[in-house]
Amino acid sequence: MIEVGDASEKILSAISALPSVRAPLAKSAGLVLSERVSAATTSPPWDNSSMDGYAVRSADIVLRKNAASDAPRLKVVATIAAGGFAPRPLGPGEAMRIMTGAPIPVGADSVVRIEDTDRGTDRVKINELRDLQKNIRRAGEDFSEGATLFDAGIEIGAPHLGVLASAGVREVSVHRRPRVGVISSGDELVELDDLTDQVKGLKIVSSNSWTLPALIRDAGAEAIDLGIASDDPASLREKLQMTEGCDLVITSAGVSVGDLDNARSVFAELGGELFFWKVRMRPGAPMAFGMLRGIPWLGFSGNPVSAMVSFEVFGRAVLRKMLGHVSLHRRALSVRLLEPVETAAPLTHFLRVIVTRGGDGVLEARLAGSQSSAVLSAMARANALLVVPAESRSNPAGSMLNALPLNDDLLMTDRFLTQ
Ligand code: AMP
Ligand code: MG
């Protein structure tokens, strides 16, 4: 048996970021840049107005403050809409009506907002001088052509897409999105489509065929469901041969010590190299990691909760490393136990808990229900996995332990802008 931390290290040291590909911007969201990106254009491309108002020369309107009778009047010679350009430079004593985003005419150095004028169309009276030299967004104030926009390693999110689009970047170099083959195994399993056997009480639906692909997609990878292998070794062999082109294979079930647990032997037969089997954790102790024809293999226990916990503890980090991330792990939160927690064996336990914020601001954890590795509904209720160290078998209420969040539940609230 290998320790949880050592298992993670062993797995991750066999994993690299996937090769770089060129991706059109429309397909790049959620991927990680493999190269620095520079701007193909300047943004904004020209000095432009940040207000609806009048483009003026400040020299024309500098007057004594509070002298309303002396308010300057300028001749309105053009209107510049966003999308248009001034017909000519602005001359002395002149103003041009200008809309937000429209280019500033040559000669103007201020935009007086419309509220500070009489809104004149032939001549305009300027009532307020607070906007002298103001309301001009300078060309290149966001970025200039040739400037670095983003370094390698940055994940492309909504603002990045916007910056890249406004910089005229149509394609980026990113680490390829991992393709993960998912194989379930066991004679007792059927697909949801074959519900009749389940209804007759003969079979169970493969829930791992739903949970694992959903977790894989949630981690930013593509899941390829290769279906259910029976407990006949030939069936699993056939499925494992369908993994060509995958970057990772995740199997569930058949890695324990039962008579029909043949995942490891089939894997060995096909020439796979086993790195370890069995981790000092609960749930999910019977777990294998190896390499088959250059494709890493995570063999999870079939128990529905175990498979999900193993993915959270090991699988997510593998996919993040393949995607090109440096931060691979969810950050653990320090939580206070609302009830005593005892564990039955000297193994690192990952218990399904509901974490909430206590009145004093400290995060508090209570068990989400049955801790059986077969009770998936407790997993669905949980928002975190309480990490109980192997040496910490008896933990009274009030003890502080770490918890791994399972989603962003703790970042959400029903109240607007409160802590
Ligand atoms: P195994 O890992 O083959 O010993 O299976 C452990 C338990 O998980 C057994 O009760 C199986 O019926 C159950 N199991 C295995 N695979 C799945 C699956 N894909 N979906 C739901 N339960 C499963
Ligand atoms: Mg089985």
Cross-strand pairs, 32: 155
Judged by its nearest atom, the ligand closest to the C-alpha of residue 205 is 1
Do 270 and 220 form a contact (C-beta atoms < 8 A)?
no
> DSSP characters for 391-410?
T--EE-TT-EEEEEESSSGG
The single-letter code of the amino acid at 51 is M
Q: 194: pLDDT confidence band, cut at 50, 70 and 90?
A: confident
Ligand 1 neighbours, Cβ below 6 Å, are 184, 186, 188-189, 204, 206-209, 252-254, 256, 258, 261, 301-304
pTM of the entire predicted model: 0.94
Q: What is the pLDDT of residue 200?
A: 84
**Rounded percentage of the chain residues whose pLDDT exceeds 90:** 92
Ligand closest to Cα of 206 equals 1
23-33 tens-digit pLDDT:
999 999 999 99
Question: In ligand 1, which atom is closest to the CA atom of 184?
Answer: 19
Can you tell me whether residue 169 is helix, strand or coil?
Answer: coil
Q: Tell me what the mean pLDDT of segment 161-180 comes to.
A: 97
Q: What is the mean pLDDT of residues 305-324?
A: 98
Helices 316-323 and 4-13: angle between axes, nearest 10 degrees = 30
